[in-house]
Structure 1
Amino acid sequence: LLNSLLKGQVAKAIQKVINTDLPHPLSWLTGYFAMVVGAGMTFVVQSSSVFTSAITPLIGLGVISIERAYPLTLGSNIGTTTTAILAALASPGDKLASSFQIALCHFFFNISGILLWYPLPFTRLPIRMAKALGERTAKYRWFAVLYLIICFLLLPSLIFGISMAGWRALVGVGTPFLGLLIFVGLVNALQAHSPGRLPKWLQTWDFLPAWMHSLQPLDRAITQATLCCTDRCRSPEGWEDPTMRVGSPRPLPHGATRL
């Protein structure tokens, strides 16, 4: 329904209004103006989740560019802090100072994130990361589910479990892992932009096993598992019925001959 509504002149009008930059002398302020809009809209609906959930399908339809959605989302994170500030101001007198301090911590935490990941164009890594994840998900549809499981379940649980063992265990495990991530990111950047600076064997990841630098082996395994589950669901007897196996010839009617 949304796709049918946002076609033709309607889509062009929305794209022209939302994705257009300010006039030339003030074009660099366009992103910050989008932050103000995102903060204002979130203040109205009192929920950043509602606002981001509303613009997500518009991004998928191409109505809003991801470069414009990024500052809108950052502004939404600022707007959602107003809920905590208003709640803090409504606290009793003896709790007002503590609750307002926590609300300000939330506010300045989001401000520090914006200062870290937006003002300079080369620091806008979330945009490039979102595009890379989107391209990977378009190629491997199961990647989105795997990403959610790892980033929102397994990885937080692992970090929490290690932290329960003490800060020494957390540093001992986290430092090598962080160093490996930095090394891989640096090598990937050099491979893409300046491969001549790397040793010949490090200019590609082909020297590693395929499962360490490609999702193709995992994709084949998931595809085969999906096909097996589909075949088992179609046949109540499972693999006991040889006529239902993939690639096996179907039985012919009585009296018919196979060519």
Structure 2
Amino acid sequence: MNGKVIKEAYTFDDLLLAPAYSKVVPINVSLKTKLTKQIELNIPVLSAAMDTVTEYEMAIALAKLGGMGIIHKNMSHEEQAEMVRKVKSYEVTEKDTDACVDDKKRLRVGAAVGVSDDTIYRVSALIDAGVDIIAVDSAHGHSKGVIDMVFELRRMCPKLDIIAGNVVTAQAAIDLIYAGASAIKVGVGPGSICTTRVVAGVGVPQLTAINDVYQVAKQYEIGIIADAGIKLSGDIPKALAAGAD
């Protein structure tokens, strides 16, 4: 690794999208996107699996708008499973025209897990509660622990949707896809409160990271989640243009 030259890379503030001819009328635009081969979102937005961001209230509110919440893991597996149940049992009415729902017309919800000894037990409880997708969540997703956990969950539950991350390279995406990931979460250090780049000196500027992962993920129809670094509304179309879903 010593002396290896890293390529030039870009983040949101470094680039703009060049305008081009369009016949699309804004009112006719659909924001629907595929998170995985099985899950469609009505808006391309997930909430962060942080204990200051997503519990069942946020998950319900976001799913009603067409996105999906990922309930954080900083609680017991019983508490996390109960939050999933609260989302799945929420009454969806005809007024919730944009809601992201499953085939039983229940709000969709995800839940984050780590790679600890009790993860399999936690996932089993979450599946029993009706969770739609599991996020194997780590600051360094290109690690043996994460890859092994994704592989084990895929072996245990062949039809389970699994988000894996966080990563910033094509090789990391390949390894997680081969392990069984349904979607890849991209981003190491771009968040406003994240200290990874300052403390550890690692990371890749977010637009380049998204596009590098996209070059691999598109071949397997794997969803890409641009995680953190979005400060302004204009950063969202930049992330989508780079390859995020």
TM superposition score category, shorter chain reference? under 0.3
- Structure with greater Cα Rg: 1
Which protein has the bigger helix share? 1
How does the TM-score come out when normalised to structure 1? Answer: 0.22
Task: Pick 1 or 2: higher relative contact order, CA cutoff 8 A, min separation 6.
Answer: 2
